[in-house]
Chains A and B, each alone.
Chain A
Amino acid sequence: MQDCTYLIVGSSHAGLTALDAIRMIDPEAPLIMATREDHLPYSPTVLPYVVSGRSIPKKVALRDEDYFKRQNVAFLRNAELKSLDVAASTARFEGGANVRYEKLLLATGAQPSIPPIPGLKDAFFHVLRTMDDALNLKSAMGSAKSALVLGAGLIGTHAAENMAEAGVKVTIVEAKGQVLPGYFDKDASALIETAFRKHGIALEFGRSVKEIKQGRAVLEDGAELPFDLLLIATGVRPQLSFLDGTGVKTANGIMVDEMQRTSAANVWAAGDCAEARMFQAQGTGVAGILPIAVEQGRIAGQAMVGDHGVKAFPGSVLLNTYSFFGQQAISVGIGEVADGETCLRIDEAAGTYLKIVLKDGKLMGVASVNNPIDPGILWQLILRRTDLSEVKDRFLADPKAVGRMLMSRLWR
């Protein structure tokens, strides 16, 4: 049995940000960071670029061995958390190693969720969440002529672009009527789709796969799509079997309060594995995005170490930045709100789009395509519920300049 003050499981954004927050206050206490990976810490977000070859696996590490030495951290690789005893504060890892902790952070992220499509279990398919997934996809892509991607979320669209650029004939099947549902509306999505089609990617919207057979997918309407390579990107969900029998409260993710505490004493959770309150909606949810994993990781770390500077998690604002074929799309907050006021500017020829949604003088959301905005500033304006009524017209005309002006004043 190993003893430590802090045990962090998962070595990606949430875990690493928590680690830094803990070490800021407590540089000494025994800290173990465990990951089931064999690699140095890396971000899942970088994987599409590993697939495309833009990023070299060796160079994407978020921390190196020396960092763990300097921070006085025991970094355990190939250590998959198998079960927990929250009453005895012990964690059991693959291979039987046991760790007794005083405080535990679960930052185990999410895993691809595999839809229950008949025949899929027995078929060979790819997913994209780990470095090994990316390397596998990269090499498979080399010999494939056609690829089928299920799901047009961030992962599916990124991977489809990678494969199309590598000369593979790609088809995306998406049950909803557009790409990136949840982040962009149909108009914005249409601009993104144009780029995809231009690059030879076939988009099959509103369709779903009934069955997977050897080398082909059968759709609901009986149509068949052949493929050399199949990628499943229909969403992610936390894999939490290590909580079985612990009584720790979960829904889609591990339920946490505004300090990232779980229902068990001395156990915190952050990032893609955690389900926290939403800022612009009732109830709770798994945000599943990197900036929120960072926010939550920091709060969890500060709470664990007793940092007086800790501020409660205000709730997840959904936001994303998305680059595709050298173009940019950004979305912050919500795109539709009852009794809201929407300002929409689309220039189809130029391929630009900007939508700003206000309610009662406050910002609810902004979405843009090829229209550079400052998402960090807009996120703050939403979180602070900044009253924009006085500068409304100017803000709608130039959200960038007015946003910068407001934040420059606020952060004096």
Chain B
Amino acid sequence: MSAYNSLTYNASLCIGCGECMMACAKAKTGSADDLSQSRIKIVVAEEGKYEAALCRQCGDAKCVMNCPSGALTKNQANGLIDWNADTCVNCLLCTVGCVYGGITFEASVGHVAKCDTCGGDPACVKVCKSGALGYVTTAAIYNDYGKEEDLFAPGLAACQGCNSELMIRHVLRKVGKNVVVAAPPGCIPGMGTVGYNGKAGAKVPIFHPLLTNTASMLAGLKRTYERQGREVTALALAGDGGASDVGFQSLSGAAERGERILFICFDNEGYMNTGMQASSATSFGSWTSTTPVGDKLQGKRTDAKNMPMVMMMHNAAYVATASSVYMEDFYEKLDKALEASKKGFAYLHLYAPCPSGWRFPAGLTIDICRLMVESNFVTLWDYEPDRGLVFTHPTDKPKPLESYLKAIGKYRHLAQEQVDRIKKLLEDRLAMLKRFAR
């Protein structure tokens, strides 16, 4: 089974200009005159608001199930619902199955018509100026890396909805087997990646350094391999505690010395596996078990240390922030980081929302990741010393910060002053980062 590209529609951005329908009608009939020929239908919802009817290329398509003549099929290669003019008998039962208005009878051509994404290059998306229509091609990544071996065993004991588990599996699929992994105390070994007596959850050499000496131990291993003439990737999979608190001294030293290792920090803003204590990466106002909410305290009193910025100030060979909602961006950065780690120190900071510790439903992890970026709570960028900092996701039209804070239980108690302070902090940080951007 493979993942597929898909057309997306964001109603809140649509301005109802109708360009998409014209482009579609033109692509399908050669003329933009008859908008009824368009396979995407923009309809007015209310004054200035629009909705769309469009084939969603369903995975369990009812139109296909309802077709008595075998004219509709789910194309396993590209995910499209294919319509075959030769075998279609015009019975219209497909239109009974579709709840989206995605396959409809078009009187002018005398048969049903539906979107075929123009063979993977949709004309409608190209003309959409508002950004309401998109064509998501991330699927290619999942298909490519899905073929690679998952180098962690199934059944790791991470919490439901764990973003870190998801991301370590991605990381090793890309990095491959020629690696030695350091996993200091934290959720990652806690879920069973590091074990003993042959019970490690990783299928590659993995070890469990102290929180304090992760980067130095890994650097020593790397040098030993180099001395033996072996080129092995030295990779740390650490939490934010292991990076920004207890592990900071050795990490800073390794970066300063330009050790040829890749250090990835999975930032879930605290010590989640030991009971959700705060770390220096915990954001201001957060509830944690050591920054409770009560008479005296309203969550954490201090701001989060901005680790990626701190690492940038080490002039490391490569520093980047990433999120699991922008996988193409993530893989590109992982590529660059791996390459850079052959010559010097590379640091990747992954934002890893934690359903158990942050108090949001496990099914919403990816949504939270997205909101986090879209509200500018975190920013995505990468940095190379001779090139400076480049933002990899626009920061100019953020969603309201409240939409992010409200979605997460650990911020439920926040008073307006606290929200204002976070806003101010985020603005200041963004302004500061912008000064590093070229």
Contact = CB atoms under 8 A, between A and B. Distances in A.
Same assembly: yes
Interface of A: 13, 17, 20, 24, 43-46, 49, 54-55, 59-62, 290-291, 294, 298, 319, 321, 323, 326, 328, 330, 332, 370, 372, 374-377, 379-380, 400-405, 407-409, 411-412
B330 to A, nearest CB: 26
5 contacts: A17-B65, A62-B68, A291-B93, A375-B96, A377-B99
Contacts of B96: 291, 319, 321, 332, 375-376, 379
A400 B105 CA distance: 12
Interface in B63-97: 65-66, 68-70, 86-87, 89-93, 95-97
Contacts of B97: 291, 294, 376
B107 interface: yes
A405 B45 contact: yes
B414 interface: no
Given A374-B104, A404-B53, A411-B100, A61 B62 contact: no
Contacts of B87: 55, 59-60
B41 interface: yes
A294 B110 contact: no
B44 interface: yes
Interface string B172-191: 00000000000000000000
Contact of B104 (A45, A294, A372, A405): A372
B309 interface: no
B92 A375 contact: yes
Given A290-B93, A321-B91, A323-B91, A407 B100 contact: yes
A407 B53 CA distance: 8
Given A328-B105, A376-B98, A408 B91 contact: no
A55 B92 contact: no
B62 A294 contact: yes
Contacts of A54: 89
B327 interface: no
Contacts of B432: none
B43 interface: yes
A294 B9 CA distance: 29
B101 A55 contact: no
Contacts of A411: 56, 99-100
Nearest to B63: A376
B11 interface: yes
B99 A380 contact: yes
Contact of B92 (A20, A61, A328, A402): A328
Contact of A409 (B44, B51, B69, B104): B51
A13 B105 contact: no
Contact of B95 (A45, A60, A375): A375
B43 A401 contact: yes
Contacts of A294: 62, 65-66, 97
B69 to A, nearest CB: 5
A376 B45 CA distance: 19
A401 B104 contact: no
A396 to B, nearest CB: 16
B52 interface: yes
Contacts of B105: 328, 372
B71 to A, nearest CB: 9
A43 B69 contact: yes
Contacts of A403: 101
Contacts of A407: 53, 99-101
B100 A45 contact: no
B93 A408 contact: no
B422 to A, nearest CB: 28
A321 B95 contact: yes
Contacts of B107: 370, 372
Contacts of B92: 321, 323, 328, 330, 375
A62 B66 CA distance: 10
Contacts of A298: 65
Nearest to B9: A408
A184 to B, nearest CB: 15
Contacts of A409: 11, 45, 51
Interface string B28-52: 0000000000000101110000011
B325 to A, nearest CB: 17
Given A376-B98, A376-B99, A407-B100, A60 B69 contact: yes
A372 B101 CA distance: 11
B69 A49 contact: yes
Given A404-B41, A404-B43, A407-B53, A49 B89 contact: yes
B44 A401 contact: yes
A331 to B, nearest CB: 10
Contacts of A60: 68-70, 87
Given A13-B66, A377-B100, A404-B52, 15 more contacts: A44-B68, A45-B68, A46-B69, A60-B68, A60-B87, A291-B62, A376-B95, A376-B97, A377-B101, A400-B101, A404-B41, A405-B43, A408-B45, A409-B51, A411-B99
Instruction: Count chain A CB atoms within 10 A of each CB in B52, B66, B89, B96 and give the residue with the most.
Output: B96
Nearest to A330: B92
